[in-house]
Amino acid sequence: MDSTIVRAHQESAGLAVAGETLDALEQALTEEKGGSACGAAAGAAGDAPQVTPDADDADTSQQDRAATRRRRKARAKAGELGRSRGGLSSKIHAGVDASELPLAFVLTPGQAADCPRFVTVLDKIRIPDPIGRPRTRPAAVAADKAYSSKANRAYLRRRGISAVIPEKSDQQANRKKRGSAGGRPVVFDPQRYRQRNTVERCFQKIKTWRGLATRYDKSPESYEAGLCLRGLVMWLKLLTSTT
């Protein structure tokens, strides 16, 4: 499991969003930053200051610019676009098998962290069998240090999946600092970890499509459909070569 960042063309930022959805996203962004309620409360405490017409116009202009920025961020959030590496970008989180074939995709803004999407990617894996339910539990999961967390390891342990994830240096130091209360060292198989480069080769094959190497789609659903189509082509090449 790993992720890769794709640069987004400036035209991909023009996603049409319904008014109610845009207002809800804007309200969520306002609440994340504390909103304007703090300023209103500060103004209500004590006497109201004397406001001149020029100051009133400047304040209105500043509020309009802030509202424009919030709506621009809300549109980017709805389109799974973010700011990373100096421009608009999206991030592809993918689960890949040992044959360099994709199993699941998750699209997020470019600045999104990898660790919180670990469980989301694994929950999307569905491998159909000729008989019975589709398989959803791999034998082992190899990922880099970005996915090393207590919650992710507990999730894998609960599902009976072997974790091939190296431990971060600060996590090692904290565990050793606590002594016996810090628990046992994590189990790590370096031989299995060498196979993690299959996900990098999978990303290389995906980005041979120009429309996936750079995002031009305004809608995240349209871009994800392209990812799924590319994954199907990769699977069909394998199936047709073995028949």
User: Each residue of 22-55: pLDDT tens digit?
Assistant: 556 556 556 655 654 344 333 444 444 454 555 5
- Strands (E) in the chain, as ranges, are 2-8, 82-84, 87-96, 102-109, 140-142, 162-164, 214-215
pLDDT in tens, 189-200: 889 998 889 999
78 pLDDT tier (thresholds 50, 70, 90): low
Burial class (CB in 10 A: 0-12, 13-18, 19+), 122: buried
Q: Is the pLDDT of residue 18 over 60?
A: no
pTM: 0.73
Residue type, 32: E
Judge whether residue 125 has pLDDT over 80: yes
Tokens matching residue 43: 């103004």
Mean pLDDT along residues 59-81: 64
Distance CA(112)–CA(94), nearest Å, equals: 14
Mean pLDDT of 67-73: 60
Q: Quick one: DSSP state of residue 116?
A: G
| Percent above pLDDT 90 for the chain | 33
Asked whether the CA dihedral 50, 55, 56, 61 is positive or negative, the reply is: negative
Inform me whether the pLDDT recorded for 17 exceeds 80.
no
Q: Tens digit of pLDDT for each residue in 143-176?
A: 999 999 889 999 999 999 999 999 888 888 888 8
∠ CA 34-39-44, rounded to 5°? 135
Residue 85: per-residue pLDDT: 63
CA distance 164 to 140: 7
Q: Is the per-residue pLDDT at 105 higher than 90?
A: yes
DSSP label at residue 127: B
